[in-house]
């Protein structure tokens, strides 16, 4: 009786739970360990960034959580299928912005009469009212990522996975999209697991920053970010914490030069 209660409670407490997750790939020189014993919980409504240098397996980890790949060891539990946003917008060019969102709704089983209205609502949420009939190539980079965000939100998943979604954008657009993401996260209450190699971006957005070491990826350290939102990337407390995290990150990277 007691155990059932605990399990039921646990499924509510975590949007995602990773327990001792390891992943290795077959390489020419034998098995290559990419992720080593990662344990991580994301609470419902929490915003977590995963930070790490090249080769820390951030994207591999996100693929595992998204269910696109299986871990070699350990377990991953999520509350339903997570939505995933990529560095490239990954919108389908044969559909308009609105129809891209409607496809996500359709695949989730939303009945046809409701799709159009819901798609318009989501476009309004990302401030792209009137872009329903626009083709993907008619949109700017920032607009495409916002449509992609709307499409991801259309999945009504409890967890939004983001794989460096703003890395390919110019600085001004990225800044604006940080504000947008914060606003949407606060409005929808979705949990976010955001992968980046940009320390300031991580601090700007997250409630918790998780630093991964490289080759193999392990959780090196965690920081709770207490700076109140809305933050700006230039704010002194953001810069200060970024500096501290950067020092630790550099230390992690230096270890690889010594061998």
> Judged by CB, which is closer to other proteins: 93, or 251?
93
Here the tokens at position 28 are 């020419």
DSSP label of 81: P
Closest CA to 95 of 145, 132, 122, 120: 132
In terms of CB distance, is 120 or 180 closer to other proteins? 180
Residues 69-128 that bind other proteins (CB under 8 A): 81-84, 86, 88, 90, 92-95, 103-104, 107-108, 127-128
The contact pattern for other proteins, residues 228-257, with x = CB under 8 A and - = no contact, is: --x---------------------------
For other proteins, the closer of residues 70 and 258 by Cβ is 70
Closer residue to other proteins (CB): 58 or 151: 151
Among residues 68, 73, 239, 243, the one that binds other proteins under rule CB under 8 A: 68
E strand map for 28-163: 30-42, 47-52, 73-78, 83-85, 159-163
Which residue of 116, 118, 183, 231 would you call a contact of other proteins, by CB under 8 A? Answer: 183
**What dihedral angle (degrees, nearest 10) is formed by the CA atoms of 88, 92, 96, 100?**
-90
In angstroms, give the least distance from the CB of 79 to other proteins. 15
Q: How far apart are CA 180 and CA 230, in angstroms?
A: 10
The encoded tokens of residue 250 equal 């550099």
Token couple for 199: 């320390």
Contact 145, 2 (CB under 8 A): no
Contact between 33 and other proteins (CB under 8 A)? Answer: no
Question: Which residues of this protein are in contact with other proteins, per CB under 8 A?
Answer: 66-68, 81-84, 86, 88, 90, 92-95, 103-104, 107-108, 127-128, 135-143, 151, 155, 172-173, 176, 179-180, 183, 230
């Amino acid at each position: 009786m007691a155990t059932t209660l605990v399990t039921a409670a646990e499924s509510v407490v975590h949007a995602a739970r990773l327990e001792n997750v390891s992943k290795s790939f077959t390489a020419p020189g034998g098995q290559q360990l990419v992720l080593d014993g990662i344990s991580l919980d994301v609470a419902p409504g929490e915003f977590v960034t995963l930070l790490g240098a090249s080769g820390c397996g951030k994207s591999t980890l996100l693929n595992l959580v998204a269910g696109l790949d299986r871990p070699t060891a350990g377990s991953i539990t999520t509350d339903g299928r997570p939505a995933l946003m990529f560095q490239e917008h990954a919108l389908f060019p044969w559909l308009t912005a609105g129809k891209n969102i409607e496809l996500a709704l359709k695949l989730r089983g939303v009945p046809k009469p409701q799709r159009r209205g819901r798609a318009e609502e989501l476009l309004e949420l990302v401030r792209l009212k009137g872009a329903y009939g626009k083709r993907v190539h008619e949109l700017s980079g920032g607009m495409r990522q916002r449509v992609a965000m709307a499409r991801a939100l259309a999945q009504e998943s409890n967890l939004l996975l983001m794989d460096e979604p703003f890395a390919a954008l110019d600085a001004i657009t990225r800044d604006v999209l940080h504000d947008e993401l914060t606003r949407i996260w606060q409005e929808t209450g979705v949990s976010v697991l955001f992968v980046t190699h940009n320390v300031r971006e991580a601090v700007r957005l997250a409630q918790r920053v998780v630093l991964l070491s490289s080759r193999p990826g392990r959780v090196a350290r965690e920081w709770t970010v207490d700076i109140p939102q809305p933050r700006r990337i230039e704010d002194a407390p953001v810069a200060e914490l970024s500096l501290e995290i950067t020092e630790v990150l550099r230390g992690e990277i230096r270890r690889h030069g010594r061998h």
